[in-house]
Chain A
Amino acid sequence: MLSIGQIRTRECRGWTRRELLRAGMLSAAGVSLADLLRCEAAESLGQEAGDNARKAPAKSVILLWLWGGPSHLDSFDMKPHAPVQYRGPYSPIASSVPGLDVCELLPQLARRADRYSIIRSLRGTSNDHGIAGTIGLTGDTAGAASLSGQVLPGALKPTHGSVVSKILGFSPTMPRFLTLGGHLHQGKRAIKGEGGAALGAMHDPFRLDYDPEKGIQIPHLQLLDGLSPSGIDSRERLLGAVDQLARRVDQSADIVRLDQYYQQAFSLLTKTGAREVFDVQREPEAVRRRYGKFRFGQCCLLARRLVESGARFVQVNWSSHVEPVEDGGDGGWDMHDRHFQQYQDRHAWMLDQAASALLDDLAERGRLSDTVVVAVGEFGRTPKINNKSGRDHWEHCYSGLVAGGGLRAGQVIGASDRLGEHPITRAFTAADLFSTVLGQMGITTTTLTTNGLLPQGSVIEELV
């Protein structure tokens, strides 16, 4: 850990982070960031939460956020006997678990079905990406913004990763919550519910991304002009950049948010070992190839490296925009037209390869048992194929994949009707799903209420 000057006091009380920024970092007054972070950690992780977390079967979560809404009928809930206008052009194939058939375009996941469960009766309440996205990421509609700009009543809830960050506390070596990918959008409208909300910016995700052309991207670092991970090997250079930035923003309302950036960026980037966590090129070539050298594949690999280094919730965004490239986006799952073309040529094999590699890699390294992997979008897609050879939004029934972390695997939970339009068994919500996931991490209803958070959803008993 880089220490900026000589420590003058180890007493945290009485110092605000803003004061530290000004008096400590900006003028190099001499407080080690490590000292600050140790104080943060000690304050934030209560005794009960700490005990629960230590005893919990799951230590980390990797959320593969399939933004835009994958079709359940073309992935994990196929309807081969439905009319041609519904079933689509693909066949189901048998998996390693009898009765758990998946799409023929997911052959690698089919061979690993004993490692995950499929929930076929997820149900939402909105077919608007903005609202459904907020529901998926926070468990609630409060504060969600629709495509038209309407904001739903209520205070925005923190996202699941932020809850984990809050409950499990700040880590001096690795953020608890990281998001791999940019801010989520539908069209040009940003989605609400990606961060800490009332928990504060301290519990917003630390963002990273992988660009096949440029390698690892760290948006927070863009605040530090001229610095890159590889360039932060000079204490003087770092201090100079921080001073420059601080002078620029000292009068800004963003100072509190920058405080968080400082802390996380400092703690991560001033240690060679921490920086190396981000460098997927340190992985053996065979491992990188196994995940696939496309953005989502390498982000899955990076997620594994992060949880091994102490991250507790890593969200891998499939894309930033819901729209595919053909609709002006960056490859999302919102395929109203050319649905089958895009799914067959791109999305299916990318998901199949990357998710399969992640499950295998975690298992081989002994980490699948304490890492929950969730692959889900904000809703499904219309069972009836539309007039543009696509499928539209469908919140009434969709599927999700859940693996690891001590959750039961090799099973199908729930069922939909013959057309995949509605659940015919108990319907589960995104809140139920993440209540279950967080429960595996020792974050129970009691833990949440103790920390002033409103529990969302009920545990899916079939999974635990």
Chain B
Amino acid sequence: MRTLSTGAGITVVADAASVGSDAGSIRHESTCFDAPVLIATVILMLVGGSMVSNSQAAEPELIRLTTDGHLKQRPCWSPDGQQVVFARHVGDTIFLFLLDAKTGKEERLTSQTFPEYDAVFSPDGKELLLSFDKLSPNQGDIDVSRIALTDRMLVPQATTQKALSHEESPCWSSDGKRFAFTSTRHGNQELYVADIKGGEWLRLSEDPAIDAHPAWSPDGRTIAFSTDRWGDLEIALIEPDGSNLRRLTDSRGLDDYPAWSPDGRHVAFTSNRDGNLEIYVQSLDGPALNVTRNPSIDNFPAWTPNGRIGFVSNRDDGFDLYTVEWRAGSSK
């Protein structure tokens, strides 16, 4: 028997013989929990063969939050850590779901039949912004909408009238008064900032490259985003007034989906710099560290309020939600 304790206070007692690896697969058979977490399954990273990272470093402990295997994207934790919102692809649908982190119960965020994704909690946890795709025949038209957890009414937040334009990838400012997003309103995908109460948009970027996936820092002073203006996709930083554009990453390959740590000192992002998609963490003045180190696809990082990193991975078959513990200096 082997007992492991995780950073989330979950202890798993498992028969070591039942969690070995075969042909690169991971088995995860937990037998009892000492915390009331029903769904979360600790993945015991007792692996061999192709699953061993080149660095031979021990793989970090994971908590698995879902097991259905459907493709998922862009999880986001509520400020109190009690809920996770994420988009799930089933058949030809993309719908947002709320997962109760304690009970494991899920519910649809809305009752809409159109595609919806990229939801993010407001700083007070009472509302969400999301990308909502108003389908017309054979053509999507994506807006940023807002929804309160109380009445679940969708309220258009950023739309373009009289022209087909996509407003998406919203993120809140830390004071909850503004939000950043992308739009193709002006003929290319650029970054914008607007007040939650409405009014004119402030255009932050103006470059023929594609700017995507803004993430507002906890101190409110910086927006991270991805851009291909320097070649391939890199993580860039810009201030909310559009000034002081600078580069955070400089690697061959794709760096995308930036997410700020709760203390604002690190940015997690997806990168394929080692040949496949992994979650990396980088401080504002330090090197990027590979957190996931697994030959499967690891994507869409998001921080939990207690500093773990959530992400989507297909390491166990289909795509599911996981969190991994991370401390500065804990990864190579």
Q: Interface size (A, Cβ < 8 Å)? A: 42
Measured in the bound complex, the distance between the Cα atoms of B209 and A104 in whole Å is: 18
The A-contacting residues of B in range 19-53, CB under 8 angstroms, are 22-25
Contact of A84 among B24, B91, B208 (CB under 8 A): B208
Nearest-CB residue, chain B, relative to A336: B139
Question: B195 contacts the other chain (Cβ, under 8 Å)?
Answer: no
- Of the 9-residue stretches A152-160, A270-278, A339-347, A416-424, which lies at the interface with chain B? A339-347
Question: B126 contacts the other chain (Cβ, under 8 Å)?
Answer: no
Question: A457 contacts the other chain (Cβ, under 8 Å)?
Answer: no
If A325-B93, A388-B184, A389-B188 touch, whether A294 touches B138 (CB-CB below 8 Å) is no
**Most chain A beta-carbon neighbours within 10 Å: one of B22, B93, B138, B139:** B138
- Of the 9-residue stretches B150-158, B240-248, B250-258, which lies at the interface with chain A? B250-258
| Binary contact readout A231-257 vs B (1 if CB under 8 angstroms, 0 otherwise) | 000000000000000000000000000
Question: A380 contacts the other chain (Cβ, under 8 Å)?
Answer: no
- Are A285 and B25 within 8 A (Cβ)? yes
- Of the 9-residue stretches B2-10, B215-223, B229-237, B260-268, which lies at the interface with chain A? B229-237
The A-contacting residues of B in range 130-162, CB under 8 angstroms, are 133, 135, 137-140, 142
Question: B14 contacts the other chain (Cβ, under 8 Å)?
Answer: no
- Are A337 and B93 within 8 A (Cβ)? no
Question: A406 contacts the other chain (Cβ, under 8 Å)?
Answer: no
| Residues on B with beta carbons closer than 8 Å to the beta carbon of A88 | 228
| Residues on A with beta carbons closer than 8 Å to the beta carbon of B89 | 325, 346
Contact of B297 among A104, A293, A349, A389 (CB under 8 A): A349
User: A209 → chain B, closest Cβ, in Å?
Assistant: 12
The B-contacting residues of A in range 338-375, CB under 8 angstroms, are 338, 340-341, 344-346, 349
Question: A455 contacts the other chain (Cβ, under 8 Å)?
Answer: no
- Are A89 and B115 within 8 A (Cβ)? no
| Residues on B with beta carbons closer than 8 Å to the beta carbon of A387 | 184, 187-188
Q: Interface size (B, Cβ < 8 Å)? A: 52
| Binary contact readout A317-332 vs B (1 if CB under 8 angstroms, 0 otherwise) | 0000001011111110
User: B133 → chain A, closest Cβ, in Å?
Assistant: 5
Nearest-CB residue, chain A, relative to B272: A104
| Binary contact readout B60-92 vs A (1 if CB under 8 angstroms, 0 otherwise) | 000000000111010000000000000001111
| Binary contact readout B158-194 vs A (1 if CB under 8 angstroms, 0 otherwise) | 0000001110100000000000000010011100000
- Are B317 and A293 within 8 A (Cβ)? yes
| Residues on A with beta carbons closer than 8 Å to the beta carbon of B299 | 345
| Residues on A with beta carbons closer than 8 Å to the beta carbon of B133 | 326
The B-contacting residues of A in range 41-92, CB under 8 angstroms, are 80, 83-85, 88-91
- Are B92 and A84 within 8 A (Cβ)? no
Question: A289 contacts the other chain (Cβ, under 8 Å)?
Answer: yes
| Residues on B with beta carbons closer than 8 Å to the beta carbon of A329 | 92, 138
| Residues on B with beta carbons closer than 8 Å to the beta carbon of A211 | 91
**Most chain B beta-carbon neighbours within 10 Å: one of A89, A104, A285, A344:** A89
- Are B92 and A325 within 8 A (Cβ)? yes
Measured in the bound complex, the distance between the Cα atoms of B142 and A85 in whole Å is: 22
Measured in the bound complex, the distance between the Cα atoms of B91 and A290 in whole Å is: 21
| Residues on B with beta carbons closer than 8 Å to the beta carbon of A186 | 138
Measured in the bound complex, the distance between the Cα atoms of B213 and A345 in whole Å is: 13
| Residues on A with beta carbons closer than 8 Å to the beta carbon of B287 | none
Contact of B254 among A90, A294, A323 (CB under 8 A): A90
- Are B232 and A345 within 8 A (Cβ)? no
Measured in the bound complex, the distance between the Cα atoms of B186 and A387 in whole Å is: 8
| Residues on B with beta carbons closer than 8 Å to the beta carbon of A330 | 91-92
Nearest-CB residue, chain B, relative to A328: B135
A-side interface mostly: loop
Question: B13 contacts the other chain (Cβ, under 8 Å)?
Answer: no
Question: B101 contacts the other chain (Cβ, under 8 Å)?
Answer: no
User: A224 → chain B, closest Cβ, in Å?
Assistant: 25
Measured in the bound complex, the distance between the Cα atoms of B38 and A134 in whole Å is: 52
If A293-B317, A330-B91, A331-B92 touch, whether A107 touches B276 (CB-CB below 8 Å) is yes
| Residues on B with beta carbons closer than 8 Å to the beta carbon of A385 | 210
- Are B253 and A294 within 8 A (Cβ)? no
| Residues on B with beta carbons closer than 8 Å to the beta carbon of A338 | 140, 142, 166, 168
Question: B275 contacts the other chain (Cβ, under 8 Å)?
Answer: yes
| Residues on A with beta carbons closer than 8 Å to the beta carbon of B23 | 286
- Are B254 and A327 within 8 A (Cβ)? no
Measured in the bound complex, the distance between the Cα atoms of B228 and A83 in whole Å is: 11
| Residues on B with beta carbons closer than 8 Å to the beta carbon of A90 | 232-233, 254
Measured in the bound complex, the distance between the Cα atoms of B233 and A91 in whole Å is: 9
Nearest-CB residue, chain B, relative to A80: B231
- Are A89 and B138 within 8 A (Cβ)? no
Question: B279 contacts the other chain (Cβ, under 8 Å)?
Answer: no
- Are A107 and B275 within 8 A (Cβ)? yes
User: B130 → chain A, closest Cβ, in Å?
Assistant: 14
Nearest-CB residue, chain B, relative to A89: B228
User: A384 → chain B, closest Cβ, in Å?
Assistant: 11
If A325-B94, A326-B133, A389-B189 touch, whether A344 touches B115 (CB-CB below 8 Å) is no
| Residues on B with beta carbons closer than 8 Å to the beta carbon of A323 | 138
**Most chain B beta-carbon neighbours within 10 Å: one of A85, A88, A186, A328:** A328
If A90-B254, A91-B253 touch, whether A326 touches B71 (CB-CB below 8 Å) is no
User: B43 → chain A, closest Cβ, in Å?
Assistant: 16
Contact of A91 among B115, B138, B252, B277 (CB under 8 A): B252
User: A451 → chain B, closest Cβ, in Å?
Assistant: 39
- Are B229 and A84 within 8 A (Cβ)? yes
User: A221 → chain B, closest Cβ, in Å?
Assistant: 20
User: A301 → chain B, closest Cβ, in Å?
Assistant: 14
Measured in the bound complex, the distance between the Cα atoms of B256 and A338 in whole Å is: 15
Contact of A326 among B22, B73, B115 (CB under 8 A): B115
Nearest-CB residue, chain B, relative to A186: B138
| Residues on B with beta carbons closer than 8 Å to the beta carbon of A84 | 208-209, 228-229
Measured in the bound complex, the distance between the Cα atoms of B326 and A82 in whole Å is: 39
- Are A289 and B317 within 8 A (Cβ)? yes
| Residues on A with beta carbons closer than 8 Å to the beta carbon of B228 | 84, 88-89
| Residues on B with beta carbons closer than 8 Å to the beta carbon of A286 | 22-25
A-B contact pairs, 11 of them (CB 8 A): A84-B228, A104-B254, A286-B23, A286-B24, A326-B94, A326-B133, A327-B138, A337-B164, A338-B142, A341-B212, A388-B165
Q: Which 6 A-B pairs have the closest CB atoms?
A: A89-B228, A387-B187, A389-B189, A330-B92, A326-B140, A91-B232
Query: Other than the known A294-B71, A294-B318, A338-B140, what 12 A-B pairs have Cβ atoms closer than 8 Å?
Result: A88-B228, A104-B272, A286-B24, A293-B317, A325-B115, A326-B142, A328-B135, A338-B142, A344-B254, A346-B89, A388-B164, A389-B184
- Chain A residues in the interface with B (C-beta under 8 A): 80, 83-85, 88-91, 104-105, 107, 186-187, 211-213, 285-286, 289, 292-294, 323, 325-331, 337-338, 340-341, 344-346, 349, 385, 387-389
